[in-house]
Structure 1
Amino acid sequence: MNSIQPVCEIIESVLNNVQQREHRQLVLVSGCRAWCQQQISGLTRPAARILWIGDAGVGLIPPASLKPVSAKQTHQLLGQESDCILFDCWSGFNPNGFGQVAGTLVAGGIFVLITPPLSAWQLFSDPEYDHIAVEPYGAADVGRRFIRHLLKTIATDNDLIQFAEDQPFPDLSSLTVASIPDPHSGDQTRLESPPVSAPFRTVDQEVMVKRCLEAVRQPRAVQVVTADRGRGKSAALGILAAVIMKRGLAGTGAAGKRADAEHSDDLNSRVEIILTAPSRGAVQSVITMLERLLPAGLLEHQKDRWVFGQTRLRFMLPDQLLQQRPAADLLLIDEAAAIPAPVLLGLLEYPRVIFASTLHGYEGTGQGFAVRFMPYLDRIVPERQLLTMRQPVRWAEGDPLERFTYKALLLDAEPANLTECPQDSAGVSFRRLARDQLVTDSEMLKQLFGLLILAHYRTTPGDLRILLDSPNIEVWAGFTGTEGESQLVATALLAYEGPINTGLANAIMDGTRRPKGQLIPQTLLAHCHIPEAAECRGVRVMRIAVHPQLQRRGIGSALLQAIEQGCPGIDWLGTSFGATADLLCFWQQFGLRLQRLGHNRDKVSGTHAAVMLRGISTAGIQLQEKGTQKARQQLQRLSASATATISDELFDVLAL
């Protein structure tokens, strides 16, 4: 076994030259646990901008100078910058954590991925398996397909540097010199960007802020800003907010409620700004930039409110905003892709709105945002303006780590470009897919995941691992064309649920157990107190997606029919989702009936979780009838409640 510590050498080398390099370097360290531990134990450099991602009690022991951050807590690092990241896969590979933390690494930085030996990685008992397994399965039942997908990505990446136990170490000399191209050498891989003045980092940032400033000085303005991750979109929103809070906003009053005669061109007039996003953490970059640019002694901060002179910025979650509808002159919506389109449309009543969306990222699904939301916006506000930010802020274009991350997590997955569009479901064939086939057929996997991204605003990289590895899941798909020239046009993810043993069922009903998975049986046991729910076996439709060019042609319903016929021995077919009138009508048309409506509204979508079910066997039909009766009683109580937040439209659709 090699005893030297080349990983420490390469980290030191890169960090010494971090300001001279434009791209970020991915380094793979693979070997037995003791060897991997040895490679990183000599790292003694001050750790101000070095991150260790992993759980020390489960994986490797980090160097004493580094405080470990769990991969599940990496969202707390959003808005920060790092020079070096050590990602401990002995603690498990969490796709969301990997995607989140990779974006904090700056140009010239190094990302060290520490794994078991590649030949044995599939056999390693990844701690993530405990989180993927659902009752009644254990970690041993979880698939290894996602790791196989990662191994394929690693094998085809020519830019990463690999250190493997019992193999010769690579030459590190290329990392000891600056990698900025010499303008006289003929290497024009990256042209010099025009200079920009602080606080801007790129021309795109400067253009975005100036264009938005011009727009929001009008009585009515709707701007849409799209960018891949790492383009400084959120920071640009912070710059924009700081400029407006310093100078005011000409010709506006709170929510436009002042009479036109009272409008003034005084740049110091009072301005109300509201900032919203799916979570408080998602806007950390906005707030960081705002607080950096406004004098600390004059900026008053109290919880989620920032006051500077006569201007005020407030952060509110989308659901709060829809319910309270406070007056505002300007609404900033960050990570709009992770907010349902109906919610976004409901916010257009504000006079000036800026939607900012990540196109490819873990926060949400920007391509779905473009497909689902933009057509509605174009009809309602045809004068809207679209701005796209392309220049990376923290790294150079063509960055190898960004390319690896996109490929490993399928961040840029999209559906197939259709060459034929059947008019109805008769031209589509449906079948169950073998998930092993998805790993070997990268293009099919990418198209399938692309469909799911378009269909649901919260599809994350973690869903890819669940899709491939969760032991209770099946994948179905619809294809057009012939076997050799087929195109994937629809898909559904199914979760088998039930039966549940008597002891666990009683514990669920008593409120002493809440096992992972088993969503519909648990709901009927815990909330509806229907003991028969434990005895039935059913299929829950987790996601269903149809290619956007083929929607409203009966293909989704035909896929559900194929699933019912192709899943023998089940007692029921069910689903759970954020209730909207359109979705409720779709499922009711297929015979599903409401079993339970959640009391609390989702903080992002503002919807109530609905559980619906259709009985198939005699036992399933009896279960559906009991659940429907319970739901009817629940709706009667809600309709009589003064505090109920269910809309009249939903009550009308849910009339049982």
Structure 2
Amino acid sequence: MRKQLDNRIPILINNNVKRNHRSFIVLVGDRGRDQIVNLHFLLSQARVSARPSVLWCYKKDLGFTSHRKKREAKIKRDVKRGVREANEQDPFEIFVTVTDIRYTQVLYYKESHKVLGNTYGMCVLQDFEAITPNLLARTIETVEGGGLVVLLLKTMASLKQLYTMTMDVHARYRTSSHDSVVARFNERFILSLASCDDCLVLDDELNVLPISRGKDIEPIDEAEEKGKGKQIEQELIELKESLADTKPIGELIKLAKTTDQAKALLTFVEAIAEKTLSSTVALTAARGRGKSAALGMAIAAALAHGYSNIFVTSPSPENLKTLFDFIFKGMDALGYEEHLDYDIVQSTNPDFNKAIVRVNVFREHRQTIQYIQPQDAHVLGQAELVIIDEAAAIPLPLVRNLLGPYLVFMASTINGYEGTGRSLSLKLIQQLRESTRASITKNDDSLATPASNSKKNLMSGGSGIKARTLREIKLETPIRYGTGDKVEKWLHSVLCLDATVVSRGISGAGCPHPSQCELFYVNRDTLFSYNPASEVFLQRMMALFVASHYKNSPNDLQLMSDAPAHHLFVLLPPLRDDESTLPDPLVVLQVALEGNISKQAILESLSHGLRSGGDLIPWIISQQFQDNNFAELSGARIVRIATHPDYASMGYGSRALKALESFYNGELFNLDETPEETQEGDYRPTIDPNATLLTDKIAVRAATQMPPLLQRLSQRKPEMLDYVGVSYGLSPQLLRFWKRAGYCPLYLRQTTSDLTGENTCVMIKNLGEVQEGEEHWIGAFAQEIGLTELNFLLTPFDLKRLEAYANSLVDYHVVLDLLPTLATLYFGKRLGPDMKLNAIQSSIMLSLGLQRKTIEEVEAELDIPVNQALALFVKAIRKICTRLQNLHKEALGADIPTQPAQPPTKSDGTDWKPLAQTVQEELQEAGNEATRELRAKQREMIDALDMSKYAIDHTSADWAQAEAHVAKLADPNRKKQVSTVVSLKSSASASTKKRAAEEPADAPKKKNRRSKGSKQK
């Protein structure tokens, strides 16, 4: 049944062919594959060039056979069965037969990397559940201007069903304790289609759906578009005319499509003409800017300048299709003819799809253009020119190995699929800049003092990356498609490919103190909701990640949005009361919750040598130490931490780490505040059961239906964790940062990473305080050296030798054999945290003990005399020897039994009490007590006696007589007759005294009238 085609579809395709832009069409429905034929026909009609080639990406099952003989056999079988007429023509079969289609299996990126550097007129993306951000960036960027990108979706009642679709990559995000995945990336992807001006969403009958942004498209004036193009090309025409008479650049520059490309070619030819063989030209650009074409023309120029051995490398020889095409175009422009002047050798490897791997040139003398694998740097001994295409897709250590004493041209993508890596611009090109600067400085110094530092220059030579000159080129004008391509703008926005850090400057308001900044939790449901405010904040966060980390990929965006165990935090400056917009984040943290794995899963994995996805640190530590208890602990791994470049090295990163640790320790949670009830993943889209594709309304959720983007940590209940860890590529700066933060290294990979060329290091910091008397569990994995191990490494005679050298009794040659062991113990932090050497002593210990250098080499490197170096070395050995002696004492003291702190207990449960006094002291105390009691009894007996009968009747006459007697005795003339006895006589009669003694004690006493009377006188 025929129906009239919606006029907006051909208008969209024709407009973009005129603009040299790409069109994006989404086909919803199981029969969408049949409409590919019609769309390809419309594209062919709109273009005047050859029939567009097709890149068809699928997961496992293509749905039809791509083999011609198999299709013919199937037709014959159908005719025999009577289900098909002999002369019946299926439009789709005709399309598959006559169209140049490249089929690429996208499952696990099996072949998708091979499409880099190639150009197609149409791209078909099948099996939406297998599509990843990496694949979108790889494939869409291969479509040329005026081309068509088609995304096939299965039949569904509403596009909102994609919000909850399980993607194939989600299986990698699930862990044993986090298995609920929310497809936030799908929702944001579908909503973003409505913002692409050159996108139409159709059903399988080519009806335009309401979500389409391009549904109001109008035809454009072709003459107006051509006028814009002429203005842009005027500068290029003038440049070509000025170089028309210059050989060979004049013929080659005619092939340039943009002014940027022409200037890049001039720079390449300038480096070729110098023939210094020690320079590097780095070409960086976004996708589709003509990098490979510029390299191809530069190789043709190198042939004209007589270069004999030219090597080309890339991730795959199939990536070099465009490069070799322009090599041959350049050779044709220079008058080379195939078979007469050069031969082409194609690969017989079926995996390379007959790609060109060698060109033999024999016009004037033997010249060769040879493809090599990136890991074959050892064959470059006779190389004169090495070309590295798509350098950002090659691991950094391999690119570094490809540099050597020859001319190097490299091209790298700075955004797009590889460019988000930034490994080339952040690491390698930065090292080249520094080496160029150093070589210039060295040359200036050598001109002034030619004989100085000759030994240092000799020792520092031999590296391919040193003493090289660097030229940098950047291409901005697109060639593969026209300027202002709407699909490119949409792709870069939805994948955050061109997120750049906006430098705010710190001179005006100044920098806030790190202690004033606050860490916030970012709600991912709101962040990836495609709300305009959330989009701005997401772009700022991704810009920090891209600027701070040299290896990122678009897949990281989907990991951030969908992985259930991942969480995001941002450190923000203090907010002002009059501020209505969110400030730029100073630090962004991505954290993954790990651990809490069941005992059974741990034992099964360790016994079979396998491990499940996720939970990086628990599985690494469990396998390294063969421990089945560590994985049961709960922890958080800091996946990435990025600081704003304008605020780097100011303490903001450390502040964010401390705030994160305080949050997981429960120090920030405020019980007085009501925690937010909304949790991530609570939102579920509401799908109208009566809705259809033509009536369904797809729009961004209202702000009232979304939780707040930022949440204070005091309002969020923290997860119960045992540790915080990190896994990173080891470098001196990063190790210093994490050690300063209090993290303890537990694992160091013995081989370097294929991706970064660095050794992976795992460090952990314990959360919570260790109770007194409780052993620290990290000590089981990282502990100081013990006496048993020390005796195994160093014998008592070795320690005596060290002691003798520390006391300056023997020469340093006597202890040279012990230095590797001592240096390993010291730099491995096995001698305890208190054992520290200064910088020069550590350098000497490192050079002599681990690098096995002589003391003369140490003198040259540290620029200090030998005697001073040895004096510092003796002090270092003395410190280490003292530490080892203390270790022996501590170990011996630990073997001596000590009195238990608590006394033993009686059988009845009561405690024994030790004696407070000795036996002699107890006897003395008992004797004193008996004496006191006896004296007390004597005093009672004395007090009971009546002493009145001994009373003296002291009259004045008696006292006067006694005083006269004392005065007489005090006469100095009678010293020898002095007597100490003074007597007083009482005048009372003896009878009176006797009668008083016989009276009862209680009888009233009679008054002594005489004495009374004598007192009255």
- TM-score, normalised to structure 2, is 0.53
Matches within 5 A, 1:362-441: 362-365=417-420, 370=425, 377-382=432-437, 384-420=470-506, 422=511, 425-439=514-528, 440=531, 441=534
Correspondence for 1:247 among 301, 304, 307: 304
Percent identical pairs in the alignment equals 23
Question: What is aligned with 2:849?
Answer: none
Contact 1:338–1:457 (Cα < 8 Å) also in 2: no
Between 1:380-389 and 1:92-101, the stretch displaced more is 380-389
The answer on whether the counterparts of 2:423 and 2:550 sit within 8 Å (CA) in structure 1 is yes
Residue aligning to 1:645 = none
Which residue is 1:555 aligned to?
Answer: 652
Partner in structure 1 of residue 222 of structure 2: 181
1:256 alignment counterpart: none
Q: Is the CA contact 1:8–1:43 (under 8 Å) kept in the aligned structure 2? A: no
**Mapping 1:513-552, distance limit 5 Å:** 513-552=610-649
Gaps of 5+ in 2: 45-50, 67-91, 241-251, 332-337, 350-355, 361-365, 438-468, 666-719, 794-822, 831-1017
Q: Name the structure 2 match of 1:469.
A: 562
Alignment: residue pair count? 613
User: Per-residue deviation at 1:310?
Assistant: 4.6
Shift of 1:436: 2.0
Q: Which residue of 2 aligns with 1:155?
A: 194
Q: 1:94-113 to 2 correspondence within 5 Å?
A: 94-113=132-151
Whether 1:442 aligns to 2:515 is no
Q: Any idea what SS the aligned residue of 2:526 has?
A: helix
Q: Does the residue aligned with 2:482 lie in a helix, a strand or coil? A: coil
SS in structure 1 of the partner of residue 144 of structure 2: strand
Q: 1:624 corresponds to which residue?
A: 778
**CA–CA distance in 2 between the matches of 1:237 and 1:168?**
44
**Which letter maps to 1:592?**
Y
Alignment of 1:246-645 (within 5 A): 246-248=303-305, 267=306, 270-271=308-309, 273=310, 275=312, 285-286=322-323, 298=343, 306=358, 308=360, 309-311=366-368, 313=370, 315=372, 317=374, 321=377, 328-337=383-392, 350=405, 352-365=407-420, 370=425, 377-382=432-437, 384-420=470-506, 422=511, 425-439=514-528, 440=531, 441-482=534-575, 484=579, 485=581, 486-568=583-665, 569-617=720-768, 622-628=776-782
Q: Aligned partner of 2:159: which letter?
A: L
Partners of 2:2 and 2:828 in 1: how far apart? 68
Query: Per-residue displacement from partner, 1:291-343 (whole Å, max 9, x unpaired)?
Result: 7867586456789985743556564537x75x999575444444455678898
CA contact (8 A) 2:286 2:419 kept: no
Q: In structure 2, what is the Cα distance between the partners aligned to 1:191 and 1:305?
A: 37
- 2:182 is matched with 143
Worse-matched range after superposition: 79-88 or 165-174: 165-174
Partner of 2:105: 69
Code of the residue aligned with 1:574 in structure 2: it is G
* Cα distance in 1 between the residues matched to 2:174 and 2:733: 32
Q: In structure 2, how many angstroms separate the alpha carbons of the residues matched to 1:654 and 1:335?
A: 40
Cα RMSD for the two superposed structures: 4.5
Q: 68-77 or 617-626, which moves further after superposition?
A: 617-626
- The residue aligned with 1:88 is 126
Q: Deviations over 1:358-402 (max 9, x none)?
A: 222111337675566666554442574332212222211111211
d(CA) in 2 for partners of 1:584 and 1:284? Answer: 43
SS of 1:205 mapped into structure 2: helix
1:23 and 2:112 equivalent?
no
**Structure 1 residues 82 and 335 mapped into 2: Cα distance closer, same or farther (>3 Å)?**
closer
Q: Which of 292, 296, 305 in structure 2 is aligned with 1:234?
A: 292
Report which stretch shifted further, 409-418 or 290-299. 290-299
Which of these two proteins has the greater Rg computed from alpha carbons? 2
Q: String of CA shifts for 1:580-619, please: whole Å, max 9, x gaps.
A: 2222222222222322222332234322222222232559
Q: How far apart are 1:470 and its partner, in Å?
A: 0.6
Could you tell me how far apart the structure 1 residues matched to 2:296 and 2:824 are? 38
Q: 1:578 to 1:450 in 2, by over 3 A?
A: same
Residues of 2 paired with 1:628 and 1:154: CA distance? 52
CA contact (8 A) 2:594 2:635 kept: yes
**1:205: which partner in 2?**
261
Give the 3 Å change call, closer, same or farther, for CA 555–6 of structure 1 in structure 2: farther
What does residue 54 of structure 2 align with?
Answer: 50
CA distance in 2, matches of 1:287, 1:582: 42
Q: Secondary structure of the residue that 1:488 maps to in structure 2?
A: coil
**1:8, distance to aligned residue in structure 2 (A):** 13
- Alpha carbons of 1:288 and 1:587: their partners in 2 closer, same or farther (altered >3 Å)? farther
Distance in 2 separating the partners of 1:651 and 1:353? 43
Matched to 1:54, the amino acid is Y
Structure 1 274/18 Cα, relative in aligned 2: closer, same or farther at 3 Å? same
State the one-letter code of the partner of 1:477.
Answer: V
Q: Is the 8 A contact 2:118 2:319 kept in 1?
A: no
Number of the residue aligned with 1:221: 279
CA contact (8 A) 2:396 2:755 kept: no
Q: 1:574 to 1:13 in 2, by over 3 A?
A: closer
Shift in CA distance, 400/48, structure 1 to aligned 2, threshold 3 Å: closer
Q: Quote the Cα distance in structure 2 between the aligned partners of 1:44 and 1:416.
A: 42
Distance in 1 separating the partners of 2:176 and 2:59 = 24
Relative to its length, the structure with more strand (as a share) is 1
Q: TM-score, normalised on structure 1?
A: 0.79
**Distance in 2 between the 1:225 and 1:498 partners?**
44
Instruction: Check whether the contact 1:29–1:113 (CA below 8 A) recurs between aligned residues.
Output: yes
Q: Which amino acid aligns with 1:628?
A: A
Describe the shift of the 1:149–1:614 C-alpha distance in structure 2 as closer, same or farther (beyond 3 A).
same
C-alpha contact 2:572 2:587 (8 A) present in aligned 1: yes
Q: Which piece of structure 1 moves more, 444-453 or 104-113?
A: 104-113
DSSP-derived class of the 2:659 partner: helix
Q: CA deviation at 1:511?
A: 3.2
Compared with structure 1, are the counterparts of its residues 25 and 298 closer, same or farther at alpha carbon in structure 2 (3 Å cutoff)? same
Q: Which one scores higher on RCO, CA 8 angstroms, separation ≥ 6?
A: 1
Contact 1:595–1:630 (CA under 8 A) maintained in structure 2: no
The verdict on how the C-alpha distance between 1:70 and 1:598 changes in structure 2, with shifts beyond 3 A counting, is same
Cα 1:560/1:315, change in 2 over 3 Å = farther
Would the aligned equivalents of 1:201 and 1:393 in 2 still touch at CA under 8 Å? yes
Correspondence 1:162-173 to 2 at 5 A: 162-164=201-203, 169=208
CA separation of 1:356/1:50 partners in 2, compared to 1, >3 Å: closer, same or farther?
Answer: closer
Higher helix share: 2
2:647 maps to amino acid: L
479 and 393 in structure 1: CA distance in 2 versus 1, 3 angstrom threshold? same
Structure 1 residues 548 and 284: alpha-carbon distance in aligned structure 2, compared to 1, 3 A threshold: farther
In structure 2, distance between residues paired with 1:58 and 1:621? 60
Task: Give the secondary structure class of the aligned counterpart of 1:587.
Answer: helix
Q: 2:561 aligns to what SS in structure 1?
A: helix
